[in-house]
């Protein structure tokens, strides 16, 4: 099941501002990835390709950390909420981005 098909709201971003920021970062990464693909197709210098790849990677990492940060804030503010991520799960997710 892909993300769009999921109807389970557990662990999703509930803060509209955090969601907006994550979506913006992912859109930026999407555009940067398109630039990487175009650069490779056009035989760009490896330096340019690597710089674009680094930008994509950083944008994705920041989006991931923002998702985890938002989940931590929600967990701390209402740890008993239905579907709240547990601290061990959040730690694993955080470390998976490191």
Q: Which domains are seen in the chain, by residue range? A: 15-78+86-97 (1.20.58.1000)
Directed axis angle between helix 46-77 and helix 87-97, to 10°? 170
Q: 11 pLDDT band (50/70/90 cuts)?
A: low
The length of the chain is: 98
Q: What are the start-end ranges of the H helices in 42-86?
A: 46-77
Tokens, residue 42: 């056009």
* Cβ burial 6-31 (10 Å sphere, 16+ → b, else e): eeeeebebeeeebeebbeebbebbee
Give the predicted TM-score (pTM) of the model.
0.71
* pLDDT reported for residue 12: 63
Residue 36 neighbours by CB distance under 10 Å: 20
Q: 3 pLDDT band (50/70/90 cuts)?
A: very low
pLDDT digits (tens, 9 = 90+) for 38-89: 999 999 999 999 999 999 999 999 999 898 888 888 877 777 777 667 778 8
Provide the 8-state DSSP code for 34.
Answer: H
Q: 4 pLDDT band (50/70/90 cuts)?
A: very low
């Amino acid at each position: 099941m892909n993300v769009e098909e999921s109807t389970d709201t557990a662990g999703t971003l509930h803060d509209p501002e955090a969601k907006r920021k994550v979506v913006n970062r992912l859109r930026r990464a999407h555009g940067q990835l398109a630039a990487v693909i175009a650069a490779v197709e056009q035989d760009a210098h490896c330096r340019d390709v690597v710089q674009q790849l680094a930008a994509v990677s950083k944008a994705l990492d920041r989006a991931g950390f923002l998702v985890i940060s938002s989940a931590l804030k929600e967990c701390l503010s209402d740890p008993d909420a239905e579907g709240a991520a547990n601290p061990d799960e959040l730690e694993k997710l955080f470390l998976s981005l490191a």
